[in-house]
C-alpha cells in the first residue's frame, strides 16, 4: 500500500505544478482543463473503490456532488466577487473560510442524518 500512496502523492503534486506552469506560460486552455480535472477526487476514488468497493464509492460520489453545490459554488462566488476589490490572499482566504464553514456544516448534517452512508 505504501508505494501506491507515494505514487498518488507525487501525481497530485505534478498535476498542481503543471497547472501553475501552464497558466504562467499563457496556455489558458490547458491550464483550465487541468484545473477542472478532479485530480484529488480521482486519486481518492481509486483508494476508496479498492478498499471499500463500488457501493462505498458511489455513496461517496453522491456526497461530493451535493457537497460541491453546498460549499464549492459559494467558495467560487466569493472569490469572483472579492477578487477585483481586494488582494488575492484576502479573496481566496474569504472564499476558503466560506467553503470551510459550509463544508463542515454539510458534513455534520450528513453524519447526523446518515445521508450518503
What HEC string does the chain produce? CHHHHHHHHHHHHHHHHHHHHHHHCCCHHHHHHHHHCCHHHHHHHHHHHHHHCHHHHHHHHHHHHHHHHHHHHHHHHHHHHHCCCCCHHHHHHHHHHHHHHHHHHHHHHHHHHCCCC
Dihedral of the alpha carbons of 55, 61, 66, 70, in degrees to the nearest 10: 130
pLDDT at 3: 67
Whether 99 has a pLDDT exceeding 60, the answer reads: yes
pLDDT tens string 24-83: 998 888 888 877 878 778 878 888 888 899 999 999 999 999 999 999 999 999 999 999
Average pLDDT over residues 81-88: 97
Q: Which of 48, 51, 69, 68 is nearest to 59 (CA)?
A: 48
Quick count: other Cβ atoms within 10 Å of Cβ 91? 18
Entry pTM: 0.70
- Does residue 76 or residue 22 have the better pLDDT? 76
Amino acid at each position: 500500500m505504501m508505494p501506491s500512496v507515494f505514487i498518488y502523492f507525487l501525481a497530485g503534486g505534478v498535476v498542481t505544478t503543471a497547472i501553475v506552469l501552464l497558466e504562467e506560460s499563457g496556455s489558458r486552455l490547458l491550464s483550465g482543463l487541468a484545473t477542472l480535472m478532479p485530480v484529488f477526487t480521482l486519486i481518492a476514488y481509486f483508494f476508496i473503490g479498492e478498499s471499500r468497493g463500488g457501493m462505498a464509492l458511489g455513496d461517496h460520489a453522491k456526497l461530493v456532488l451535493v457537497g460541491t453545490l453546498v460549499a464549492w459554488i459559494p467558495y467560487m462566488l466569493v472569490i469572483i466577487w472579492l477578487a477585483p476589490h481586494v488582494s488575492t490572499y484576502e479573496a481566496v482566504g474569504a472564499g476558503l473560510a466560506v467553503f470551510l464553514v459550509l463544508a463542515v456544516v454539510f458534513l455534520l448534517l450528513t453524519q447526523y442524518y446518515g445521508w450518503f452512508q
